Amino acid sequence: MSTLILLLATGLGLGGLYFLVASGLSLIYGLMGVLNFAHGSFLTLGAFVGLAAGNLVGAGTWGGLLLGLVVGALTGAAAATATELGLIRPLYDRHIEQVLVTVGLSLATVALFEGIWGPNPRNVTRPGWLASTTDVLGARVPNTAFLNVLAGAVVLGGIVAFLRYTRYGLIIRAGVENRAMVTALGIDVRRAFTLVFAVGGAAAGLGGVLATQSLNYVSPHMGASLLIFAFIVTVIGGMGSLTGAAVASVVVAVLQQLANFYLNNTGDLIVVLLLALVLLVRPSGLLGRPA
């Protein structure tokens, strides 16, 4: 029983991380039709820069972590905005080229990060509470899981509120449905593109700093490995559906944890099987609109 609770709790925590990456991917794809391969690099950069900022205040202190999270999110947002303005916008509506550019960017930036910070993972210092566990009905749940769930929920709530209550949110929701008609109402939808990139980049940067706390290390490759699961989450949830991404994040992560424990460490493979199954039954994903 306590094992199951532990697996569910860590699964939820991991799901929170997945969602932080997948939410941006999903928003960007939904509005612009762009698969952003460089999203993992926003995460990695956010993690490194965020941690460095936190270390200025004090490694392993709450103040440092808080500053790190803010700086990580800002870094992710800045990197994403620069990417959109510099590389994506000049290729307006040429989706294949846009994907290719993000592929090139991800290859180049990961190499650059390796050059700057070295290819190997580095340990991080966490606040004491985050390094320990809390007893939940007999299960010793790592405290990072709570932090991740909280962050995922806050970001989900924040994005939903932004989409529902702001004019840009309205433009984004309309644009996901029918972009041409939004421009035909006299709205410059490209500003919404930049904004979506910035929001997605911020979530990824935040996710980067959080991931270092769960993994207890930071590495130039952490973005790439999270990105692959975020891709799977986005396809299973339905490309462009935010709620779909949220649901699929939790399902995928929990399933992964369960399989890793009960089925001989096969979590990664089970997730791919789930993907195949969803595609066979519902090619548009759980909550995606049928093509």
Contact between residue 147 and residue 210 where contact means Cβ atoms under 8 Å apart: yes
The interface with other proteins within residues 99-138 (CB under 8 A) comprises 99-101, 103-112, 114-116
Q: Which is nearer to other proteins, 59 or 270 (CB)?
A: 270
**Stretch touching other proteins by CB under 8 A, among 46-54, 148-156, 180-188, 206-214:** 180-188
The interface with other proteins within residues 70-99 (CB under 8 A) comprises 87, 90-91, 95-97, 99
Does residue 174 belong to the site contacting other proteins (CB under 8 A)? yes
Query: How close are the terminal C-alpha atoms of the chain, in Å?
Result: 42
What are the two backbone dihedrals, phi and then psi, of residue 60, each rounded to the nearest 5 degrees? Answer: 80, 10
Mark out the alpha helices in the chain (DSSP H runs). Answer: 2-32, 39-57, 62-83, 95-117, 128-131, 143-165, 167-177, 179-183, 189-215, 222-237, 242-262, 267-281
Does residue 177 belong to the site contacting other proteins (CB under 8 A)? yes
The interface with other proteins within residues 207-246 (CB under 8 A) comprises 224, 228, 231-232, 234-235, 239
CA 190/CA 202 separation, integer angstroms: 18
**Smallest separation, CB 195 to other proteins (Å):** 16
Can you say whether residue 238 is alpha, beta or left, with left for phi > 0 and alpha for psi between -120 and 50 degrees? left
Does residue 56 belong to the site contacting other proteins (CB under 8 A)? no
Residues that bind other proteins (CB under 8 A): 29, 33, 35, 87, 90-91, 95-97, 99-101, 103-112, 114-116, 167, 170-171, 173-174, 177-178, 180-189, 224, 228, 231-232, 234-235, 239, 265, 268-269, 271-272, 275-276, 279-280, 283, 291
